[in-house]
Structure 1
């Protein structure tokens, strides 16, 4: 059964249409929402978190209608926004405990056991008494994931969880997120194709508030099959010079072109088409 079902959803801010008839589904495992900045990813994640309502269309989350059963849904989901809004004077334990109270875990002993459990799950047990303002950016992101895991949620929503992290921190986060997705539904938004390749069983590519692709990362890679080639001169719709001095081109390959093995990024850029021009140079 799909945990998330989005059907023809529209959301506008004044004259700007952030989501324009968007439809997709997500089930157990990790599903990536891949798109450029401004594609509508954060708007969609906030709607899945029941923070925003659709102007039209329907959502089913955990088998329920968020317009009528928002509280029941919130009790079964975890949410990490792009900017969590930490109380930086709190310690790690105090902040996660504060969120646990908001999540209606009222018994003090049971709540503290749960707080310690999620802090340990994200690898922060040794710094649980540290103030959040003294933590690195990567550690603060772990605090955000810890609060999202309170109460063993069935649906976990992560908005750009690896943005701004260095390569080592990104690898640690990928390990953590993949583990979380082993027994629940995780939906994460990203503009990093590397995150999709490393983490996601399914990927939804969208831009301008519309779904442009829904499938597996391998199927996204095959979108660019036969349309990526190497040459001594720039010749594709999208083209950039590699470290070897050759140009990697994406588009309609000329006859006798030296075809290259496509990547997920190639498929993604080909789907974006004209919108992607200028992404590489």
Structure 2
């Protein structure tokens, strides 16, 4: 179940090039699409979901061009957009039944079985009688996963699903997504590096409508081994350090000093210490190169 995106371009009427001659191949499993806000991730997700048409290019899933056969793709698709609304004063159970009817599940018995399964998978069965509008943010996101599973999708797209969730809700949501991703092609679009690190076996970094790097998280960090250096400085020297070195990130210490992480092929000065790279380092290196 592979997805091949080839030479896809999308320019909006205001002149913004959201997707710029993009090429990407995604295989079965959890795929992380990592990039800052405004990178073009949501535009790409909407295009794959056939909610908008690109200006050029092709998108092939399971040997058919989804741009030529959008309805065929929608039968195989589960989509959780960045934000979605729910009806007021309707329980999760009733709302899922309504969505199942819309997705073509005619038999009441079949709908009941499917709804019970997705509620249990998303840990919402005990609150199935409650109004979805009264759910917490994390519960609403898990309900979003429940509704997209009603048609047993083969391609699942989730766009910025953990934004705004507290740590406990985020963990519960990611655990649900792990189970879902075991047997499907799942595209996880996010600007949160930690989500990709915890969840995805394959990933790409996107900015400016283009794919900057496609890699495996562990291989990406190994590729910059012995290239990441750290040093504590007085905050008044931060600007000069940024001008002199490739500073990837900085964080304050308790004494108000700053710990910086620098990318360099060689040790910058004797004061720097070598540290093992992380996925955030990989991400910032790619973004800095794209902005040069």
Specify if TM > 0.5.
yes
The counterpart of 1:264, out of the listed 279, 283, 287, is 279
CA distance in 1, matches of 2:183, 2:147: 18
CA distance in 1, matches of 2:231, 2:74: 53
CA distance in 2, matches of 1:81, 1:95: 17
When structure 1 is superposed on structure 2, of 221-230 and 119-128 the one drifting more is 221-230
- What is the aligned partner in structure 1 of residue 10 from structure 2? 11
The runs of 5 or more residues in structure 2 that have no matched partner are none
The runs of 5 or more residues in structure 1 that have no matched partner are none
- What is the aligned partner in structure 1 of residue 23 from structure 2? 23
Cα distance 1:6–1:46, how it changes in 2: closer, same or farther (>3 A)?
Answer: same
CA distance in 2, matches of 1:188, 1:62: 19
The counterpart of 2:268, out of the listed 241, 251, 254, is 254
Check whether the contact 1:203–1:215 (CA below 8 A) recurs between aligned residues. yes
Q: Deviations over 1:23-54 (max 9, x none)?
A: 11111110011000000111111111111111
- What is the aligned partner in structure 2 of residue 127 from structure 1? 127
1:105 shift after superposition: 1.1
Q: Deviations over 1:53-94 (max 9, x none)?
A: 111011012322112221111111111111122113221012
Check whether the contact 2:10–2:55 (CA below 8 A) recurs between aligned residues. yes
- What is the aligned partner in structure 2 of residue 241 from structure 1? 251
Larger-gyration structure (1/2): 2
CA distance in 1, matches of 2:222, 2:9: 29
TM (norm. structure 1) is 0.92
Aligned length: 276
Partner SS for 1:153: coil
CA distance in 1, matches of 2:60, 2:145: 24
TM (norm. structure 2) is 0.89
Aligned positions of 1:67-146 closer than 5 A: 67-146=67-146
1:151 shift after superposition: 2.2
CA distance in 2, matches of 1:276, 1:150: 42
CA distance in 2, matches of 1:18, 1:212: 14
Check whether the contact 1:32–1:187 (CA below 8 A) recurs between aligned residues. yes
- What is the aligned partner in structure 2 of residue 178 from structure 1? 178
Check whether the contact 1:250–1:270 (CA below 8 A) recurs between aligned residues. no
Check whether the contact 1:221–1:265 (CA below 8 A) recurs between aligned residues. no
Q: Deviations over 1:160-218 (max 9, x none)?
A: 11111111111111111111111111111000110011000001101000000001011
